[in-house]
A = this chain, B = another copy of it.
Amino acid sequence: MNQESCIAILAPGLLGGSLALAIQETLPKATLHVWARRAEALDEVRARVPRAICTTDIATAVGGATLAILCMPVPHMRAAAQQIASVPVSSQLIVTDVGSVKGSVMTGVAPLLAEQGISFIGSHPMAGSHATGMAAARADLFEKAACLLTPEENTPATALGRLRAFWTALGCRVLEMSPAEHDRAVARISHLPHAMAVLTTLAALAPDPAVLACSAGGFRDTTRVAAGDPAMWTGILRDNRTEVTAALRDAASGLSRLLEMLDQPDDTALLQFLTRAKSLRDLLPPPGTSAPEIRPNSIE
């Protein structure tokens, strides 16, 4: 059961704004603070989340909070953590984030807070959109989404339990893994697909965008995420480049094999290749059904 009495959302973009909306609907007893660097960014929060106490002052935002959620892009999290570490906070405060890469957060952000005795545990709700900002925020964004928590060996069990309860209350399926396991898994399931959508878009349209007149649902879906925010994705791909590069090299090797099969041509090999991909893709249950029964421990 969620125990947080005061939750601070830092940076109300798509994820932060959706969190504020979800908390407003789902956790009616918790006090809700929303911080933004620019006062204008709070106007839409006030309109859509009347319960939120809005501020541009980090001390006000985290003062009294039991949970503070960093929702800014990963490169800006360090500055926010420095500010949190320099103001008075509750002894109960847990800081988490919603960033897509955990290695860089654990080395760049967590130690700044640990020096002040503040617990940091990484969170990564696997929810989002190619759209950005509070305007695209939705109260149900996290429902049925996987949320990956990345505790370390010295993470207090009570803090981890509270964070698990918070995300569960918002409707997430919570999985736990180390920061390194996280970065390896999301490189494959999220960062690689993003990079491939970008490559598909460029190879499909760069020679002549007029082919768009012939497009159908396949092109639309396969490339949807390539419309995502380039600055945000530059940060993600760069921060997780070791794992992303490994995944992309596997894709490059598959691409070479596919080109060989077509050059031959080798119908038997091609059929096997496509059949193998289909059998893997068919492991994903249809939308709206429950998640695949695969335990997080098996992610290695």
Contact = CB atoms under 8 A, between A and B. Distances in A.
Interface of A: 126-129, 145-146, 148, 175, 185-186, 188-190, 192-228, 230-231, 233-234, 237-238, 241, 244-245, 247-252, 254-256, 258-259, 262-263, 265, 267, 270-271, 273-278, 280-284, 287, 291-292, 294-296, 298-300
5 closest Cβ pairs, A-B complex: A230-B274, A126-B216, A193-B222, A203-B251, A203-B250
Contacts of A210: 294-295, 298-300
A220 B280 contact: no
Name the residue in A222, A248, A252, A276 with the highest tally of chain B Cβ atoms < 10 Å from its Cβ: A222
B226 A204 contact: no
A283 B238 contact: no
Given A203-B247, A265-B238, A294 B212 contact: yes
A223 B284 CA distance: 10
A203 B256 CA distance: 13
Classify the interface of chain A: helix, strand, loop or mixed. Answer: helix
A209 to B, nearest CB: 6
A99 to B, nearest CB: 14
A30 to B, nearest CB: 25
B203 A254 contact: yes
B200 A192 contact: yes
A101 to B, nearest CB: 13
B218 A244 contact: no
B188 A211 contact: yes
Nearest to A222: B193
A209 B128 contact: no
Contact of A222 (B225, B244, B263, B277): B225
Given A199-B255, A294-B210, A204 B215 contact: no
A186 B228 CA distance: 24
